[in-house]
Amino acid sequence: MAMDVLDDQRALLYGHDHEASENVLSGTGGDLDVEMNLLAKTPDWWNAGLPREGVPIGFVFGFEGGSWARAEYDHADGFLSVGFPMKSDEALAEEIVDWIGDASRRSGTRHIPAPADLMAAISEGANITVEVLGAICGPGIGDLEAGVAAARNFLEPKNSSAD
């Protein structure tokens, strides 16, 4: 699954579940092979914003005008089976606690983020700071500067001919 911010008003969320996506939109060298039309009745910028280098795509959601949408189709697209943790703040917090718990056990630190620190990190979103990320990660977990830099990538629109 990937999300590309195309500009300050539009984004694409797309991905594929190799076990559950019945539909596949795949591109190689700019040509699209469509087994199910995941882009039926969608704006042209959706198609223009998708990757073209052999990336299998089983679902596509577009964000514009403050809401998300997808093409209408009846086949399983694999989105729900991907385990997208950002369905709610609570689901995201559970995912973070699980990830930090596993990572901290491996490092021997056994850190569990405090609920207030989790909510602070979630509310910061892509604007998260090293201090806030450090509070949820605990000692010895990851490269905090790289984590903050990766989060900032969600604030930068991708180059796109999607107009």
pLDDT for residue 162: 43
Model confidence at 29, in pLDDT bands (50, 70, 90)? very low
Say which residue, 154 or 7, is predicted with more confidence. Answer: 7
Average pLDDT over residues 124-139: 90
- pLDDT of residue 161 exceeding 50, the answer is no
pTM of the model: 0.56
Q: Phi, psi at residue 4, to the nearest 5°?
A: -115, 125
Question: What's the pLDDT score for residue 145?
Answer: 93
Rounded to the nearest integer, the mean pLDDT of the chain is 78
Give me the helix-helix angle, 130-137 and 89-107, nearest 10°: 70
CA atoms within 13 A on the CB side of 32: 15
Q: Are 141 and 107 in contact (CB under 8 A)?
A: yes
Q: How far apart are CA 89 and CA 121, in angstroms?
A: 10
Distances (CA, A) of 161 to 7, 44, 49: 11, 10, 7
Segment 66-91, tens digit of pLDDT = 888 888 877 667 776 666 666 678 88
